[in-house]
Amino acid sequence: MELGTTLLACFILALVIKLSRTAPKGQLPPGPKGLPLVGNILDLSLKELWLSIAKWARNYGDIVYIHVFGTGLVFLNDAEVAVDLMDRKGSIYSDRPHLVMAGELCGGYNIMSFTGYNDQFRRQRRLMQRALTPLVIKNYHPLLEMETVPFLKRLLSKPESYVDHIRRYAGTLTLNVIYGHQVTSDDDRCLKIAEACADVLANDIAGGGFLWLVDVLPFLRHLPMWAPGSGFKHKAIRWKAQLTEFATVPYDEFKEKMENGTAKTCYCSTLVEAAGKSMTEQDEFDIKYSANTMYSASLDTTITVVTSFMLCMVQNPDVRMKAQAEIDRVVGKDRLPDFNDRPSLPYLECILSEVLRWTAPVPYALPHRLMEDDVYRNYFIPKGSFVFANIWSMTRNQEMYPNADAFSPERFEADLDEELKKKRDPKNFVFGFGRRRCPGMYLAEQSTWLLIASMLAALDIQKAVDDKGNVIEPQVRYENSVFRMPAPFKMDIRPREHARRLMNL
């Protein structure tokens, strides 16, 4: 009882001090009115929060402000506003919130997604930009193409496990491209470690949108391990060990291959060879953890985009058949599409753009942290505010995308001037903004293009039918609090008539 009273007193004192230090110096952006002290905490749903944010955007405009225990949460609902602040003012809008649970206790600060805007972040970002340019990624095309046919075979052999197959594809592909590690079985040690780590990040650490009570009340991290309410600390110890293991095991295997001359061209080899004999311990640390970031950041995004693509094909058979006709005409029926075919498949390009727009895989992205007070459009935005790019509302902008809730690749077939075309291209905002924009976006985009092109060439993906011949409408649910990933649904996946030739069966 005494411990609870002490904690409550500490909480109230910390809150009063915090609120007194963050008193507004000007007019804050508009937003829903919160409760005294706790602010808008009751407005933050853990399920499909992006729908609530979109409603605020419609009611209050391009910039919405709320607060939770005195910390400002700012939602940027228009792409041009996000560019103005996160791109053009990147020097003050590129930090990350200090996440005690994910970053400090679980060791996530070594992963770039959680690293503050500091020297470590800048060093590792430079490495990723150097090794993941469109020109360099061409060297990885054979690795991408290597994984396509095994994925299609697994999908046809057990179609109901399609999410597991996509996860295996994404994990295998990333391990190969990043570490030169080729997965040959489901029992592969690196794959199992990587999948467990990605699951912990996406479903445990991020289970509440990455925000834990200890992030709001940091003094809780000093609770003794035996105290009631310290369960989060026990979890953190376990999860930190898993994150450390995943950063270490595949990189150590890669180093061993470099030493005995068997390493393949990959992200790590590109950077190690560039560093040469002058590589320092810091260089190696940065290579190791930037590589780890690539896997951690890409797995669930790939699963989200590909499962959403499959849902779109089930719900829009006319789109699937139009794309298949284009592929058959351009590529033929004796091989799968490859990257050389991409310029000749414009409708497929429209499908990829519409999947990215319609899906909005990470609807409100991870927050940036404002490093100093700012004024924009006469609104005062306080230092320390968490600033979110509301990507969901950007993809549902009715002026930019009429009938925005509909899946319509044809919207990207229009002949537009270059400036408008760039504004409408979802690739310019679904991967984030500014200095926090995903540096692996080119790899993710190219691997996704190849996979959906191959699936369309080889498979018919359509609505399931029950034993009596009745069509089963897919039951669509979104249960993840970070990714807009459709929960598993029923569908019918079968090979096209020439699929055996395509997959060399």
pLDDT at 8: 39
b/e code 289-308 from CB counts within 10 Å (16+ = b): bbbbbbbbbbbbbbbbbbbb
In this prediction, residue 372 carries a pLDDT of 97
Where does the pLDDT of residue 5 fall: very low under 50, low under 70, confident under 90, or very high at 90 and above? very low
First and final CA of the chain: distance in angstroms? 69
User: 206-255 pLDDT, tens per residue?
Assistant: 766 567 888 878 899 999 999 998 899 999 999 999 999 999 999 999 99
**Please, are residues 486 and 307 in contact by the beta-carbon 8 Å criterion?**
yes
Domain 9-502: assigned CATH number: 1.10.630.10
Residue 449: CB partners within 8 Å, gap ≥ 6? 342, 348, 349, 352
pLDDT at 146: 87
**Contact yes or no for 377/63 (Cβ under 8 A):** yes
Say whether 287 sits in a helix, a strand or coil.
Answer: helix
Model pLDDT, residue 16: 43
Q: Is 416 helix (H, G, I), strand (E, B) or coil?
A: coil
pLDDT for position 20:
45
pLDDT per residue as tens digits for the range 14-23? 444 454 445 5
Residue 45: pLDDT above 70?
yes
Q: How far apart are CA 453 and CA 315, in angstroms?
A: 18
Q: How far apart are CA 330 and CA 344, in angstroms?
A: 7
**Stretch 333-345: mean pLDDT:** 95
* 430, amino acid identity: V
Q: Per residue in 173-208, pLDDT tens? A: 889 999 999 888 888 899 898 888 888 887 788 766
CA distances from 112 to 109, 170, 252, 297 (A): 7, 20, 20, 9
Q: Residue 449: name the closest of 346, 332, 360 by CA.
A: 346
User: Could you tell me if 441 and 297 are in contact, meaning their C-beta atoms sit under 8 angstroms apart?
Assistant: no
- The percent of residues in the chain predicted with pLDDT above 90, rounded, is 61
User: Where are the domains positioned within the chain?
Assistant: 9-502
**Burial per residue of 436-450, b for 16 or more beta-carbon CB atoms within 10 angstroms, e otherwise:** bbbbbbbbbbbbbbb
Q: Mean pLDDT lowest for which of 102-116, 201-215, 438-452?
A: 201-215
397-411: pLDDT as tens digits: 999 999 999 999 999
- Give the integer Cα–Cα distance in Å for 31 and 60: 6
> What whole-number percentage of the chain has pLDDT above 70?
94
Please indicate if the annotation marks 268 as binding a ligand. no
Residues 353-374 have a mean pLDDT of: 94
The overall average pLDDT reported for the chain is 88
Q: Whole-prediction pTM value?
A: 0.89
Give the pLDDT score at 209.
Answer: 58
Write the burial class of residue 326 (CB in 10 Å: 0-12 exposed, 13-18 middle, 19+ buried): middle
- For position 224, what pLDDT does the model report? 92
pLDDT for residue 26 is more than 90? no
Residue-level pLDDT at 133:
85
The dihedral formed by the CA atoms of 381, 384, 385 and 388, expressed in degrees to the nearest 10: 120
